[in-house]
Amino acid sequence: MKILLLDHNHPLITEQLLAKGFILEEDFTSSYDEVLQKIDRYDGIIIRSRIPLDKNFLENAKNLKFIARVGAGMENIDLNAAKDLSIELINSPEGNRDSVAEHVVAMLLILMNRLFIASIEVKNGIWKREENRGDELLGKTFGIIGYGNMGKATAKRLSGFGVKVIFHDILPDLGDEFATQVSLETLQKEADILSLHIPLDNSTKYLVDENFISKMNKNFYFVNTARGKNVNTSALVKAIKNGKILGAALDVLEYEKSSFENLDSSLDNEDLQFLLTSEKVIVTPHIAGWTHQSKEKLAQFIVDKIVAKFY
């Protein structure tokens, strides 16, 4: 099989697939149109997020048997077109579930204990104790929406913090020793903290909006390591300003480019500026799943799945 690699990934992908006899070609610079001209030569594609694989692209990929996405999210692929064309879809959410879970806990502890703010103040000669009094996780109810690989790993990490973990998912009977499955209404009634672990599709775009936030019974902390467009930013900012959201830890933003490589400067606005300057908000550049270990694990899961299916 001939496979096109469109993004930089861990070299083990190339090394292991070549050893199995696959033919590989790397192209990390060509544009969408340039790749489109040659895509019919390949049996498989390995991607991250650089080029969108829309219906037009897939219809031109006459010999394509599979698309392997090194990561979890598949929103950059026209899933319906892929299904209609019998193209196998492969991803590797198992590879960065642990790094995402650790990032969630890390951001939340920093936010709730004002660690980043306090550290900067001390380094600048400012010594404030009462103003930097923290808020404990112990005794709180942690609500998760989406109990797949990321949600489960997050619940597991929280098991030693003395929190009650509940979750809502569209699939039934997912509860385990680390979390209890509840209705969305129950989650909104009980949660002190809300963390998103869902894909981006038509049903989850702007899931957290003004209406959703108004149904949260308590003032709460909010964590998003899923996708920026799962959240309506204007509603988020409004809720932070009025105190409904006590603080937000955001690894993803609505204003990211589709490739996740940077913010889309053309969408610069007051809401974004508020998030970037507020002491109640921590923002990281879409790195929750981005550890040295996850880079290798993401790649290994992809190789193993390709080999199992097509070797």
- Catalytic residue flag (residue 15): no
Q: Which of 256, 270, 279, 296 is catalytic?
A: 256
Please state, in angstroms and as integers, the Cα–Cα distance from residue 66 to each residue in 11, 24, 176, 188, 307, following that order: 20, 14, 33, 39, 12
- Catalytic residue flag (residue 286): yes
Looking up tokens 């929190």 gives: 163
DSSP 39: G
Residue 168 sits at φ, ψ, to 5 deg, of -120, 135
- Catalytic residue flag (residue 227): yes
Closest CA to 77 of 103, 51, 39, 95: 51
Measure the CA–CA gap between 292 and 248, rounded to whole angstroms. 26
SS3 121: helix
DSSP 91: E
Q: Which of 185, 227, 254, 270 is catalytic?
A: 227
Beta bridge pairs of residue 68: 46, 90
- Cα torsion for 29, 33, 39, 45, to the nearest 10°? 50
Q: Which of 129, 286, 292, 296 is catalytic?
A: 286
Active site residues: 227, 256, 286
